[in-house]
Amino acid sequence: MQKLSLGIDTSCYTTSVACTDQWSIVFTEGTMLSVAFGDRGLRQSDGVFLHLKQLSPLIVKALDEVGRDRIGCVAVSASPTSEKDSYMPVFLPGLKQAETLAAALGVPLVKTDHQSGHIRAALLGHEELLERERFFAVHISGGTTDLLLVEPHRDAPYRIERIGRSTDLHAGQFVDRVGVALKLPFPAGKHLEALALGSECRDVKLASAVHGTDCSFSGAETQAQRMIGTVPDAEIAFGVYDCLSRTLAKMFRHAVEAYGELPFLMCGGVASSLFLRALLKERCPYAIRFGLTELSRDNAVGVALIGAERSGL
Q: What percent of the chain has pLDDT over 70?
A: 97
Mean pLDDT, range 65-89, rounded to an integer: 94
The mean-pLDDT minimum among 6-10, 30-34, 209-213, 289-293 falls in 30-34
Question: CATH topology for 4-125+296-311?
Answer: Nucleotidyltransferase; domain 5 (3.30.420)
pLDDT score for 42: 65
Which residues of the chain form CATH 3.30.420.40? 4-125+296-311, 164-290
Mean pLDDT, range 131-136, rounded to an integer: 93
Chain segment 142-200, per-residue pLDDT in tens:
889 999 999 987 666 789 999 999 999 999 999 999 999 999 998 899 999 999 999 99
Tell whether the model's pLDDT for residue 39 goes beyond 70. no
3-state per-residue secondary structure call for the chain: CCCEEEEEEECCCEEEEEEECCCCEEEEEEEECCCCCCCCCCCHHHHHHHHHHHHHHHHHHHHHHHCHHHEEEEEEECCCCCCCCCCCHHHHHHHHHHHHHHHHHCCCEEEECHHHHHHHHHCCCCHHHHHCCCEEEEEECCCCEEEEEEECCCCCCCEEEEEEEECCCCHHHHHHHHHHHCCCCCCCHHHHHHHHHCCCCCCCCCCCEEECCEEECHHHHHHHHHHECCECHHHHHHHHHHHHHHHHHHHHHHHHHHHCCCCEEEECHHHHCHHHHHHHHHHCCCCEEECCHHHHCCCCHHHHHHHHHHHCC
The CATH H-level superfamily of 164-290 is: ATPase, nucleotide binding domain (3.30.420.40)
Chain segment 87-97, per-residue pLDDT in tens:
899 999 999 99
pLDDT score for 1: 77
